[in-house]
Copies of this chain bind each other. A is one copy, B any other.
Amino acid sequence: MRKATRIFHDPPGIVTSAAVGGRMENEGPYGEYFDKINDDPYFTADTFEKGESQLQKQAVRMALEKGGLKEEDIDVLIGGDLLDQCVGTTYGVRDYGLPFLGIYSACSTMSEGLLLAAMLTAGGFADTAMAVTSSHFCTAERQYRMPLNYGGQRPPTAQWTATAGGALAVSAQGGAPYVRAVTIGRIVDMGVTDANNMGAAMAPAAYSTLREFFEDTGLSPEAFDHIVTGDLGKVGSRLLCELADDEGLDLRKNHLDCGLLIYDSDRQDVHAGGSGCGCAASMLCGYFVPGLREGAFHDILFAATGALLSPTVSLQGESIPAVSHLVWLSSEKE
């Protein structure tokens, strides 16, 4: 078998990115990095689901504007989200009329979208490819857990789904940050069945992909400013570092988790941290990509993780498979 990591000889670059958030995200430590904040959880629509679609529409629009791009400059749009049948995306982007590829990878959607955008541009199948995703606290709560009005108690391991999203465009001729390599994740299922403890379910997938990247490339964690996971939260982040410790890999020095960054858990009532496709996507598009462009960081591994369960099969007693796709972003082309 070929390795799961693909290294780009002529790396494509991220030419624009935009992050959109809600009020909670604005009140978090990285609020200033969002390009647009919406205080209205309905995003002027009449349902939360339609609101989430508005969020994605905004993210695409903002990314185009920030990059000085027109819709026609995008050869393919790649997107997905947590909602049944990915309707946050399909209804959000339908008006753009762009060639569209739907993806599903739960909270690792931005990793998968970016990875595909990089391969399609590097392979010559698109000059510019855009990836977009989102999540919304209110749509996720009622779909995965309980209607908001029920006022259910959340256990300490639960995470708070970010009302956020991000979009970015990759171009074969783009400048820094460059996509130097990608690792396509494998599904890992360690038998965790607690749908209120996604961190524990996803940490083994993150570790599997990171280990494979280091093996495939011969690089070590010290080569990177930060190793950024998506939304492992408190529980999953601890587990990831312990899994790595067991095999002599020290991730503690430079591991960051978007789920631990996006909110201030002392001040905001988010229990084990943030989660959702939009958590990692907005932190990537709003904070890490601009930081790489401006020289605040030189090399980052972005490995968002997705829990591939559904409420239906969880109720049927199934465990939670997870996947983590990885992207190596660098301010240098080689």
Q: What bracket does the count of chain A residues touching chain B fall in?
A: 35 or more
Query: By the criterion CB–CB under 8 Å, are B318 and A50 in contact?
Result: yes
Give A131-188 interface residues, CB cut-off 8 Å to B: 143, 184-187
- Chain B residues, Cβ within 8 Å of A46: 316
> For the complex, what is the distance from the CA of A187 to the CA of B96, rounded to whole Å?
8
Which residue of chain B has its CB nearest to the CB of A90?
A: B308
* Chain copies in the assembled complex: 2
Residue A243 lies at the interface, judged by CB distance under 8 Å to chain B: no
> For the complex, what is the distance from the CA of A1 to the CA of B75, rounded to whole Å?
6
Residue A287 lies at the interface, judged by CB distance under 8 Å to chain B: no
Query: By the criterion CB–CB under 8 Å, are A124 and B123 in contact?
Result: yes
A313 in contact with B187 given A2-B75, A104-B103, A105-B102 (CB within 8 Å):
no
> For the complex, what is the distance from the CA of A85 to the CA of B143, rounded to whole Å?
11
Query: By the criterion CB–CB under 8 Å, are B311 and A125 in contact?
Result: no
- Chain B residues, Cβ within 8 Å of A2: 75, 126-127
Contact with B along A292-334 (1 / 0, CB 8 A): 0000000000000000111111001010010100000000000
- Chain B residues, Cβ within 8 Å of A112: 101-102
A123 in contact with B123 given A100-B186, A184-B76 (CB within 8 Å):
yes
Residues of A within 8 A of B (CB): 1-2, 4, 6, 46-47, 49-50, 72-76, 80, 82-87, 90-91, 93-94, 97-106, 112, 116, 119-120, 122-127, 143, 184-187, 189, 308-313, 316, 318, 321, 323
Give 11 A-B pairs besides A49-B316, A83-B310, A100-B187 with Cβ atoms closer than 8 angstroms. Answer: A2-B127, A6-B125, A47-B313, A47-B316, A82-B85, A84-B84, A84-B311, A91-B321, A100-B185, A102-B103, A119-B119
